[in-house]
Amino acid sequence: MDYAIRERDADFLLKEVFDVQSSWAEIDEFSHLTPDLVGAVIAEGGRVAAEVMAPLNELGDEHGCQWHDGEVTTPPGFKEAFSQMTAGGWLGVSGNPAFGGQGLPKSIAGLVEEMFWAANTSLYLYGTLTVGTCLCIDAHGSLEQKQTYLEKLYSGQWTGAMALTEPHAGTDLGIMRTKAEPRPDGSYDVTGTKIFITSGEHDMAENIVHLTLARIAGGPAGSKGISLFIVPKFQPMADGSLGPRNGWRSGSIEHKMGVRGSATSVIHYDGAQGFLLGEAHQGLAAMFTMMNYERLSVGLQGLGAADLAYQAAARYAQERIQGRSPEGPQNPGAEADSLLVHPDVRRMLLTQRAHIDSCRALAVYAGMQLDLAKYAQDERADRLSQLLTPVVKAYLTDRGLECAVMAQQVLGGHGYIKEWGMEQIVRDARIGQIYEGTNGIQALDLVGRKVLRDGGRTLFELLDEIRETTVDDEFVSELDQACDRLEATTRSLLRRAQEQANLPGAVSTDYLELVGMTLCAWMWARMATLAPADDFGTVKRETARFYFARLLPRTLGLERSIMADASVVMDMPEALFTA
Amino acid sequence: MDYAIRERDADFLLKEVFDVQSSWAEIDEFSHLTPDLVGAVIAEGGRVAAEVMAPLNELGDEHGCQWHDGEVTTPPGFKEAFSQMTAGGWLGVSGNPAFGGQGLPKSIAGLVEEMFWAANTSLYLYGTLTVGTCLCIDAHGSLEQKQTYLEKLYSGQWTGAMALTEPHAGTDLGIMRTKAEPRPDGSYDVTGTKIFITSGEHDMAENIVHLTLARIAGGPAGSKGISLFIVPKFQPMADGSLGPRNGWRSGSIEHKMGVRGSATSVIHYDGAQGFLLGEAHQGLAAMFTMMNYERLSVGLQGLGAADLAYQAAARYAQERIQGRSPEGPQNPGAEADSLLVHPDVRRMLLTQRAHIDSCRALAVYAGMQLDLAKYAQDERADRLSQLLTPVVKAYLTDRGLECAVMAQQVLGGHGYIKEWGMEQIVRDARIGQIYEGTNGIQALDLVGRKVLRDGGRTLFELLDEIRETTVDDEFVSELDQACDRLEATTRSLLRRAQEQANLPGAVSTDYLELVGMTLCAWMWARMATLAPADDFGTVKRETARFYFARLLPRTLGLERSIMADASVVMDMPEALFTA
């Protein structure tokens, strides 16, 4: 499926909308970056996405992965494509330069990741898990661990995986049972079963490095007794060669709705040798330090899927002729008019575009906050990035499915058959709402840890920033009202949550959507205000108007819904859900 | 997957909520019906759904259909199950008794269809197309045609299919090219290619009867020159035996996102012998007379999928323990509390239940109007059924996907893998929004033909009926406001549409959802008001409260969105959609 990269959008966001150069100037690590260099990175990433990854997307879905006696075979061509992709250094884009990473800002890496996700979600999953593994080792590993693993992982010679979930323990990691018994040499014997391990076993790299959560025997119960271990498939030797095969194996792979080119394993650890990463009993905290980066990345998966689907739907609508305009034939010489004369088709396409462009802007903004927090030790940016992360993860993956389904609808029956590729996008996009913490968990994180815990301080600061932004007159009043709505809702929540323990969970999903929609209104107002006087600018201004008139009104319902008390969801007796 | 039929709900709706017995008493054809008889029909239908159809649902998806040289093989067991199902007379439930049908009301048939859809959507598709074929032949056929076809179709000895779509003509049937050339004997040679023909070819019946739209050579251009033909696979002989094979064949079958057990063919007609059904050049009108019945049925597909998914999600939530209640451990002896202590899980389940129960009530109400229109020649019921049909088709299938996705979400990662069956429900449900007229087309039909064309008369009558309904105090004010919102929106639409030709299409989808939500609020207020003082009644009252507090607020946003002018979707230049 054709996929056009959004170079002009990236350029517009980085320069005009966010002026990232100014903030980079204050960060030593980024002061060498120029718009030209960044543009070249994005263009080259786009080339890899379009030429190396995209051609294997449908084939990966068709073939899926094969499991035989513990070994996993990936779809034809995946290994070679992964090798080409990693040879370009793309797994280390925002990696630590001291160990072979490129050290680029997350805001740039995010724009590249969006393209990789769009081009081939299954293939990029092998990459993103590796990126996450690197982040974790870089943040918590000893110097020796960094030296042993990072370069091999950044280069894609080895890949990474996260082993968290167990059959009975998904969201609730506190009840996991995988055990770690200390060995005399300071390493551990890891024993237990993990499920849903993306890239846990495959044939694309010579070694696979698991970051595995387990309990050290005798440690505290619950989530405070969990430690993180590096459990490689082959033990790295001091001379850089690979030692003996470690004691874990893939018990099977899952047959999934989508991302079928990505191998999801059950992994059995049978006294596998593991090495503590970070402090004992601090495993969950260690894992969560990289979560903000990973969750932003999964949000970008939703965005990539949405844009891939939108582009296909827009092309179809432009080429397909069917029916006549309500105003009479627009193309009287032809048998019918273009689908684009039909207002409802335009509504579907504009809805997608309105979500896609504002979500991309929001992701870049969130990436900038992560960069400022990490490199400039900016305390406010740190709080803000933590507030934004669950919103970006959940809001963007929710919009990803919504847009993919809507794009599929534009094609009618053709959208439902495999031949056109749209149904694969829907199936692939669906996982984004589930993994890396379900979107329900993101919403709880937002309301509980990011809003209620600091009494709304960070959120109110953000609202101040929105209100202080200069935007075109036509958006001022609606944007103000949206801010007022979010503020009133938040204050009500802060007050009522003190007496209703179940209130945050009862309204969290609606609240997250309200935050996401308000932020996207801000993004649209900024983009429309700064849009140039050309076709590119026309798209921005018209789509902004559509967003304000047709989508932002959803917040009226969300506000009302959030004002309901917890009893509305809690009063139904448990037994009656299955009655 | 386990599926519990809703006997109590059916009983409650038929007796308490709608008192169908009173309206049946005035219709000769139904005056013999008793609650006991109807209850027995539903119970037996449920048994067939649960015991005969459901066991093949996952298998049908796994195997799919196979095409070889024009012949189509259905999944193992489908033929036998279809034969068991049809032997019970289930395709003729609301069929004409003069030709072997059961003559039951559509309101009852609908409750049965919901169960069939839920149990095995792919398998029931072979049935529903047959039912549609019967409706059309019964309404437009000659006595001889009825005698030749109806009994064989009602009994499932033969099956039916509708051949409308062509590669370049889907929604816009006016540009179709399939031709019919008169033969000397009064029959026609039909030539052309049709696509997306559900049950067009398969191995489950000895004959397949196509109703095919084609142009009689020399007839008027556009949609006024289209005629409808009976084009059987084998010509029925005067003695009841089958004659020679007709001149059409399946060119291939589609590989689809879902309903993979249902065979969807490309059909090539090469001078196939067809027999005019109804008047020449009146084919579209003839096809549309059965559309109201068929569209109600497809709506029920959405409802069936939603309930099947809900039931599985509710069971999972009840059995799975994970995390602790925000109020502290509720089950301190266990490792974790039930998923049902989590407010956000409850929100998801209550959302599904709130849609499912009200959509079922709405479908029964719409079925009653169809019955009154057909059997009591009730003019108001006729208009009302025409207004309700597009709403039921689109609103119920939209809720079908929404609920299936939400139920899948309750299972987290388990929802994404095939093993649990949830992802199949999502894939199967998705087609409901696309076929039998896309939901966008339903929305246009509602706004254009059913609301604007009679100046809002039928809709305002319906609003009067809603306002006159006695409901519990707690719902009065919200229900009134919802009615006011719909009335104001409709009046605004009536006024503005006079100057904006594109307005109806620009807001039609939002308007349909507003109508659907308002009607479901009415259904909830009625059900909660009449609910008994037991567990069943508690479910109804609590779910009604949830609907009013948490879902109905969506209408605030819809109202605002519909008030936007058409320019908001029309101003974007066509070329810029792909920019």
Give domain limits for chain A.
438-569
Instruction: Give the pLDDT confidence score for residue A404 in this predicted structure.
Output: 98
- pLDDT band, residue A36 (cuts 50/70/90): confident
Instruction: Give the pLDDT confidence score for residue B551 in this predicted structure.
Output: 98
**Please, what is the average pLDDT of chain A?**
96
Among partner residues B336, B426, B557, which is closest to A553 by beta-carbon distance?
B557
pLDDT at B320 over 90: yes
pLDDT at A551 over 90: yes
Q: CB within 8 A of A356, min separation 6: which ones?
A: A303, A306, A307, A310, A399, A403
Q: How many helices (H) and strands (E) does chain A have?
A: 20, 11
pLDDT digits (tens, 9 = 90+) for A151-184: 999 999 999 999 999 999 988 999 999 999 999 9
- Average pLDDT on B23-36 reads 90
- pLDDT band, residue A133 (cuts 50/70/90): very high
**Nearest residue of chain B to residue A433 (CA atoms):** B409
From chain A, pick out residues whose CB is under 8 angstroms from the CB of B551: 561
- Average pLDDT on A507-531 reads 98
Min Cα–Cα distance to chain A from B327, Å? 6
DSSP codes joined into one string, A360-404: HHHHHHHHHHHHHHHHS--HHHHHHHHHHHHHHHHHHHHHHHHHH
pLDDT at B289 over 80: no
Instruction: Give the pLDDT confidence score for residue B232 in this predicted structure.
Output: 98
A423/B505 Cβ within 8 A: no
Instruction: Give the pLDDT confidence score for residue B101 in this predicted structure.
Output: 97
Tell me the percentage of chain B whose pLDDT exceeds 90: 94
pLDDT at B36 over 90: no
Kind and range of the H or E run holding B191: strand B188-198
Location of structure tokens 């070249």? A40
From chain B, pick out residues whose CB is under 8 angstroms from the CB of A556: 553, 556-557, 560
Report the DSSP pairing between strands B248-253 and B179-182: unpaired
β-partners of residue A446 are none
Instruction: Give the pLDDT confidence score for residue A222 in this predicted structure.
Output: 87
Active-site pick, A113, A201, A436, A513: A436
Tell me the percentage of chain A whose pLDDT exceeds 70: 100
pLDDT digits (tens, 9 = 90+) for A296-352: 999 999 999 999 999 999 999 999 999 999 999 999 999 999 999 999 999 999 999
From chain A, pick out residues whose CB is under 8 angstroms from the CB of B575: 535
Q: Which residues of B are catalytic?
A: 436
Among partner residues A165, A416, A503, which is closest to B434 by beta-carbon distance?
A416
CATH class of the domain at B290-569? mainly alpha
- Average pLDDT on A481-495 reads 98
pLDDT at B292 over 90: no
> Catalytic annotation on A114?
no
- Average pLDDT on A32-61 reads 95
- pLDDT band, residue A96 (cuts 50/70/90): very high
A443/B434 Cβ within 8 A: no
Instruction: Give the pLDDT confidence score for residue A525 in this predicted structure.
Output: 98
| Residue B133 burial (CB count, 10 A) | 27
- pLDDT band, residue A1 (cuts 50/70/90): confident
pLDDT at A14 over 90: yes
- Average pLDDT on A366-378 reads 95
| CB of B61 closer than 8 Å to CB of B261 | yes
φ and ψ at A192, to 5 degrees?
160, 180
Tell me the percentage of chain A whose pLDDT exceeds 90: 95
Tell me the percentage of chain B whose pLDDT exceeds 70: 100
**Please, what is the average pLDDT of chain B?**
96
pLDDT at A122 over 90: yes
Instruction: Give the pLDDT confidence score for residue B26 in this predicted structure.
Output: 86
- Average pLDDT on A229-243 reads 95
pLDDT digits (tens, 9 = 90+) for A381-393: 999 999 999 999 9
> pTM higher than 0.90, yes or no?
yes
A440/B172 Cβ within 8 A: no
Instruction: Give the pLDDT confidence score for residue B365 in this predicted structure.
Output: 98
Tell me the C-alpha distance between B446 and A402, whole Å.
Answer: 23
- pLDDT band, residue A290 (cuts 50/70/90): confident
CA dihedral for B202, B207, B212, B214, sign (positive or negative): positive
The domain made up of B34-288 is a member of CATH 2.40.110.20: yes
Instruction: Give the pLDDT confidence score for residue B508 in this predicted structure.
Output: 98
